[in-house]
Amino acid sequence: MSEFEPKVVAFLCRWCASAGADLAGTSRLPYPPNAIPIRVNCSGRVEPQWVVEALKAGADGVLIGGCHPGDCHYVAGNYKTRRRVYLLRKVLAELGIESERVRLEWISATEGARFAQVMAEFVAALKRLGPLHGNGGAR
Amino acid sequence: MRAKLAVYWTGSCGGCDVSFLELGPGLLDVLSQVEIVFWPALVDAKRQDLERLPPRSIDITLVNGVLRTEENAEMVALLREKSRFLGAYGACAHLGGVPALANQGNGILEAVFGPGFRPAPPFPEAPEDTPPDLLPEALPLDEVVPVDFVVPGCPPPAGLIARFFEAALSGGLQPGQVFAEEKALCEECPRVREERRISRVLRPHEVLPDPEKCLLDQGMVCLGPVTRGGCEASCPKAGMPCTGCLGPTPKAGDPALALLSALASLVRAGEEGEAAFPEENRILDGLVDPIGTLYKYAFAKYGRPLRRLARRREEVRA
């Protein structure tokens, strides 16, 4: 059987994290191609229901990428998301889902290398956790 | 001709059966228009009596309670066959209700009797009578039979019961109808919203709330913003936060996650920024028992899919 390849849904904010991901690409930085990126205008727009929907629909992990503290294009969207993710991870843990499956990272538009590093770390962490869904990522 | 009515309880506290009395004198009007064919709390009729009825011969059946045993599931299947309209009455039949919080654990018997628990071996001779087997999970009604309408609440408030009978007895029952508002409870709550930021999260016993101000603004976890109206905000009016018994509005989706999102955006520990993160976390930690608080009635419907996923993984590992 081939190695388990985690499926990741990445909600990336338009102003920072998504631009960072683009930079990783144009810089030809290698990183695991496990993420389905979804660009949102602000990390503050990411509803906890979307994260849970992604997990229910087959994702093994969800990454939310936003601007660094103080850099949010909409001033405070990333702060709201930080608080939401804090509570959501608690709820997931109580339900028996490892909270590490939901990850919030600050990635600026200039941090292509950081995006690549975050992806590599996250995918490695998810491989250690194993598949969330019973089929074990069999393709 | 009088409408034939059946009312049945499954895993129920009995409060739903009592709630009909809330109609007051209006109950007499209702009773003059119906013929009770089956209602274990009120009249003597057994399962055999029900089995003898022709299919679809009961006009309206109301089921209250969560489905917890094999017998519950059999009875509602039988009632479904005998009924033209079958509805979920009360939060347990509608969403699973409080008893469905048992789905958090890995089996109710293990939770009660401990990890070493094993069922006793069967008797050598077949016993005269045995209790029915438990279902693996506590289920809302629509997981077992198709449900035509919902009268929500814990128990349903008088106004909604009246609205239901008005529709049902005039032949105006629509499939899929939920007898509550689509708008949030806040729309009918007289409390005043001001602050829109909270510096503490409190449980009801920790505070004597201001009589005028919004309870959420005062740090109480009120599910009003994500819950259907229809009860005239009776709990918030009495100083208790809404716990969500009428179920989420169609727009809210998962009520726990929707309220979690709203609550997190209101929390402030002074100026927002990196320096405030630890204090913000401390405030958010004031939400103890997030599952029991946010999913009080709706866990079976909304929290269970993820719980199931986690449980399957635990089984695979074991």
**pLDDT for B162 beyond 80:** yes
Number of domains in chain A: 1
Domain ranges in chain B are 3-178, 185-287
- Residue labelled with tokens 């519950």: B72
Instruction: Give me the domain span that covers residue A87.
Output: 8-129
For range B3-27, the mean pLDDT: 96
Residue A1 inside a domain? The answer is no
Chain B residues at the A interface, defined by Cβ less than 8 Å, are 104, 253-254, 256-258, 260-261, 263-265, 267, 272-274, 277, 280-281, 284, 287, 290-291, 294, 303, 305-307, 309-314, 316
* Domain CATH number, residue A113: 3.40.50
Phi, psi of B4 (to 5 degrees): -80, 125
The Cα–Cα gap between A7 and A61 comes to: 7
Q: Does A95 touch chain B (CB under 8 A)?
A: yes
Question: Within 10 A of B54 (CB to CB), how many other CB atoms are there?
Answer: 8
Nearest alpha-carbon partner for B30 in B38, B18, B21, B39 = B21
| CA quadruple B154, B155, B160, B161: dihedral sign | positive
Per-residue pLDDT tens digits for B261-310: 999 999 999 999 999 999 999 999 999 999 999 999 999 999 988 888 88
Complex-level ipTM beyond the 0.95 threshold? no
pLDDT above 70 for A1: no
Block residue for tokens 């590992």? B317
Phi/psi of residue A105, each to 5°?
-135, 145
Domain presence at residue A2: no
> Under CATH, what is the fold of the domain B3-178?
Rossmann fold (3.40.50)
User: How confident is the model over B69-118, as pLDDT tens digits?
Assistant: 999 999 999 999 999 999 999 999 999 999 999 888 766 777 778 877 77
Distance from CA of A21 to the nearest CA of B (A): 24
Residue A139 domain flag: no
Q: Give residue A54's pLDDT.
A: 97
Asked if residue A89 is part of any domain, the answer here is yes
Of B253, B305, B309, the CB nearest to A132: B309
Fill in the amino acid letter for B139. L
- Nearest CB to A80; choose among B265, B306, B314: B265
B52: its two tokens: 């003898």
Mean pLDDT taken over chain A = 94
